[in-house]
A = this chain, B = another copy of it.
Amino acid sequence: MGLVVQKYGGSSVADAEGIKRVAKRIVEAKKNGHQVVVVVSAMGDTTDELIDLAAQVSPIPAGREFDMLLTAGERISMALLAMAIKNLGHEAQSFTGSQAGVITDSVHNKARIIDVTPGRIQQSVDAGNIAIVAGFQGVSQDKKDITTLGRGGSDTTAVALAAALNAEVCEIYTDVDGVFTADPRVVKKARKIEWISFEDMLELASSGSKVLLHRCVEYARRYNIPIHVRSSFSGLKGTWVSNEPQGDQPMEQAIISGVAHDTSEAKVTVVGVPDKPGEAATIFRAIADAEINIDMVVQNVSAASTGLTDISFTLPKTEGRKAIAALEKTKDSIGFDSLRYDDQIAKISLVGAGMKTNPGVTATFFEALSNAGVNIELISTSEIRISVVTRADDVNEAVRAVHTAFGLDTESDEAVVYGGTGR
C-alpha cells in the first residue's frame, strides 16, 4: 500500500459536520494501510466572505495582501480537519502551502507552481501522521511572499503534491459522483464515466465540463498521476482519469467520452476584413496585447467578388467589452467594415479519442443537431473534439439530442448529484 493524496473541496468541509465526515473518510484510508496526505480548500463560503471584507476596505485590493487574506481560509479548515482526525484517535498535522514546500512564481492571485519540495510532508507521514495541506496556496520563490494559485488551485496543489510524493493516486473529492457523459442537470440520462484518458478529459475540461479544471489535468498528465474524482458524500467509486484503464476497467476506450457545453462565452465577428496576409495577425495581436484569452477562431474563404472575409472568435463574456475596445483601435489600420458582438451563444462539444478512427462521427453529430432543429453558427474541430456554436436557447435540446445519438444515455435510474467545484 502506497501513499494516497486526497483533496476535499470547500463544499465537503462547509461546516463542522462536514469536517467530521471527511475526517472519518480520511481515517478509513489510513486504516486500510495507506500513507495519507490531504489537501483541503477553505470552508464553504469563507473565501467569498473574505473577498467581501476586502471590498469593504479597498476597491482594488492589492495582490500580495489579497493572497495573505485569502489563505486564512485554508488555514482554518486544515487546522479544524487535523483536530477532527486527532479526535478520532489518529495523529494529524496541518501544513501551510509554504510549510508543505509549494514553491510558486510571484504572480499574486494566480501564481503557478514552480517546484514542490515536500520534505516536511514526507517526514510527517513517515512518522505515522496524516498530513493535512492547505490547498490553493504557496510561497513565492524569490520574495518568500504568500501566493495563491487562482481557480482550480486546490486541485492543482493535490496533483502537484501527489507527483512530488510519488503517490499511487490523487483522489479529488467533490460534491458530484464523478465525470459524466454530459452535465446531469441537462441530460437526466447522463452516465458516470468509469475511466477516461487524460487527453479526453483535457478536451472536456476546455469545453465546459467543470468537474476538473484543465490546469490540474494537464499537471497530472505531465507527471502521469492517476486522478480518481469521486463524491465525498457517497461511498461510490467515481471516475478514474489516467493514461491507462485501472484494474477491471474495460481496456477498450469508448468512441465518444462525452458531450460538454459552455454558455459562458460570447462571439465576436470582425466583418469585412481584407483577405491579405497579416490582417488576422494584427487582429489577434491586439486581442493578445489586451491580455484576453480566446477560444475558437473561425475564418471562412473570402467572397471572390469583394476580396473581403469575416473572422469570428469566441471568448469569455467577461472579456467582451475589453475585446471590442481593443479591436476598435485597429479599425483604421486594418480597414474592416464593422464589429459584431453576440453573447447569446452556446458552445457544444463532442469529445472522444475514438473519433479519429471512426468515420461518420461528424456526420452523426450534425444530423442529431439538425433533427433537433438546432442551427449551427460556427464549427471548429481538433483531432478528438468537434465543437459547434449555436443559439444559447438551443443548448439543452442540442446536448440531449447529441447524447442520445451517440448511445450515451444510461438505462439506470440512479440519482446523481451535480454541482460546481471548489477552488
**A contact residues vs B (CB 8 Å cutoff):** 16, 19-20, 23, 50, 53-54, 56-62, 64-66, 68-69, 71-73, 75-76, 78-84, 86-87, 92-94, 96, 99, 120, 144, 146
Q: Do B79 and A66 have beta carbons less than 8 Å apart?
A: yes
Cβ contacts under 8 Å, A23 to chain B: 57
Q: Do B53 and A80 have beta carbons less than 8 Å apart?
A: yes
Query: What's the nearest-Cβ distance from chain B to residue A144, in Å?
Result: 7
- Give Cα A61 to B56, complex, Å: 33
| Closest chain B residue to A46, Cβ basis | B72
Known: A69-B75, A144-B99. A80 touches B64 (CB 8 A): no
Additional 6 contacts, C-beta under 8 A, given A65-B93, A69-B79, A99-B144:
A19-B57, A54-B80, A60-B87, A61-B83, A62-B86, A64-B94
Cβ contacts under 8 Å, A73 to chain B: 72
Q: Do B54 and A83 have beta carbons less than 8 Å apart?
A: yes
- Give Cα A62 to B59, complex, Å: 38
Q: Do A78 and B82 have beta carbons less than 8 Å apart?
A: no
- Give Cα A112 to B144, complex, Å: 25
Q: Do B87 and A59 have beta carbons less than 8 Å apart?
A: yes
Q: Do A68 and B75 have beta carbons less than 8 Å apart?
A: yes
Cβ contacts under 8 Å, A86 to chain B: 58, 62, 65
| Closest chain B residue to A53, Cβ basis | B80
Q: Do A58 and B87 have beta carbons less than 8 Å apart?
A: yes
Cβ contacts under 8 Å, A54 to chain B: 79-80, 83
Q: Do A69 and B76 have beta carbons less than 8 Å apart?
A: yes
Known: A62-B82, A79-B69, A99-B144. A57 touches B93 (CB 8 A): no
| Of B59, B65, B83, B93, the contact of A92 (CB 8 Å cutoff) | B65
Q: Do A79 and B92 have beta carbons less than 8 Å apart?
A: no
| Of B66, B83, B146, the contact of A66 (CB 8 Å cutoff) | B83
Q: Do A72 and B65 have beta carbons less than 8 Å apart?
A: no
Closest 10 CB pairs of A and B: A16-B56, A69-B79, A58-B87, A68-B79, A57-B84, A58-B83, A72-B75, A72-B72, A65-B82, A65-B79
- Give Cα A16 to B57, complex, Å: 6
- Give Cα A244 to B83, complex, Å: 48
Q: Which of A75, A78, A79 has the most CB of B within 10 A?
A: A79
Query: What's the nearest-Cβ distance from chain B to residue A165, in Å?
Result: 19
Query: What's the nearest-Cβ distance from chain B to residue A90, in Å?
Result: 12
